[in-house]
Amino acid sequence: MALDEKILQLKREKKAIILAHNYQRPEVQDIADYVGDSIELSRKAMEEKEAEIIVFAAVDFMAESAAILNPEKKVLLPSAGARCPMAQMLTVDEIKRWRVLYPLVPLVLYVNTLASAKAYCDVCCTSANAVEVINALDAETVLFGPDHNLAEYVQEKTGKTIIPIPERGFCPTHLLFQPEEVQALKADYPDAVVMVHPECTAEMRKIADFVGSTSQMCQYAKKSNAEIFIVATEEGLLHRLRRENPSKRFVLAYEGAVCPNMKLNTLERIYLSLRNERHVVKVPEPIASKARKALEKMFEITH
Ligand code: CIZ
Ligand code: SF4
């Protein structure tokens, strides 16, 4: 039996569902029950009342959020090594240091953080709702981490003072995009629309026709009348964009824009993970309850 069929059979036997992030390998997206961004997937996990096991094909912090929001389900991360380097950039010690410097300023954390960090913040946000969350706060100055580029973008959009913590947290994959290379592609495809993720640099945002998260890029591409899109985010999203818009053309803004951690979840590892029910992601108390409050506050603000 082919590996994908074996996975689907095991999935039925074990009442499992497979959730795949937009940056997963094409063959992983193709066997998933849902493909989406981290919060769309966590919400899906909450809706799937019958499921007992959730295979969360993504990276550590996303599986942690799913486990926090679905404490009664077994959440499996197929590859134990799939860790987001950006999430590692903000430690609890660093947060405490900033909290002492700005005791009255609210702390908003991007979901790309470990649960131990989320436990110390007032509210979480995603790249899709960061502007909405910060606008909703009754404060003109906000501590925000860990992505420095997203912090800068939110400052531009809200007009509030956003203090990035740490000073220069970043996504190594999104930093690979360069405006000169996009300009060169524009010469080949003059009618193309340029979509840029807010984790990219300010120079990249400047040349964008549209700045948004992966889910927002999918919505934008669907609605747009354009036929060609130059896309500046992790290459996995192009598989989804092409599947959902077969008549449109999508060009990656830089061929090397691959997140190696996302790609650790191979079909083989998904199969082994489901068969052996490993690697179970569990967030200990009281961290889980505190982090859940910060995630729920985000849901309250954004509905
Ligand atoms: O929240 C997510 O899923 C991430 C990290 C990317 C995005 O833009 O959707
Ligand atoms: Fe982390 Fe960047 Fe990979 Fe997303 S693409 S998991 S932010 S390193």
CB 59 within 8 A of CB 36: no
Atom 1 in ligand 2: residue holding the nearest Cα: 84
pTM above 0.95, yes or no: yes
Q: In terms of Cα–Cα distance, which of 164, 204, 160, 157 is closest to 182?
A: 204
Could you tell me if residue 278 is left (phi over 0), alpha (psi between -120 and 50 degrees) or otherwise beta? beta
Q: In terms of Cα–Cα distance, which of 179, 181, 107 is closest to 139?
A: 107
Q: What is the pLDDT of residue 49?
A: 92
10-residue mean pLDDT profile of the chain (303 residues): values are 96 97 98 96 92 97 96 97 98 98 98 98 97 98 98 98 98 98 98 98 98 98 98 98 98 98 98 98 98 97 91
- The reply to whether ligand 1 has any atom less than 6 angstroms from the CB of 111 is yes
CB 74 within 8 A of CB 58: no
Atom of ligand 2 nearest to the CA of 58: 6
- The reply to whether ligand 1 has any atom less than 6 angstroms from the CB of 199 is no
Whole-number Å distance between alpha carbons of 232 and 204: 9
Q: What is the pLDDT of residue 21?
A: 98
Whole-number Å distance between alpha carbons of 298 and 303: 8
Ligand nearest to the CA of 265: 2
Superfamily in which the 3-82+262-283 domain is placed by CATH: NadA-like (3.40.50.10800)
**How much distance in Å is there from the Cα of 50 to the middle of ligand 2?**
30
First to last CA, the chain: 43
Domain with CATH 3.40.50.10800 in the chain: 3-82+262-283, 86-170, 174-252
Q: Which CATH number does the domain 86-170 belong to among 3.50.50.60, 3.90.1150.10, 3.40.50.10800, 3.40.50.300?
A: 3.40.50.10800
Atom 3 in ligand 2: residue holding the nearest Cα: 259
**How much distance in Å is there from the Cα of 257 to the middle of ligand 1?**
15
What is the per-residue burial (b if ≥16 Cβ within 10 Å, else e) of 205-222?
A: bebbeebbbbbbbbebbe
Residues near ligand 2 (Cβ within 6 A): 23, 59, 84-86, 112, 171-173, 234, 259, 261-262
Superfamily in which the 174-252 domain is placed by CATH: NadA-like (3.40.50.10800)
Q: What is the pLDDT of residue 303?
A: 83
Q: What is the pLDDT of residue 267?
A: 98
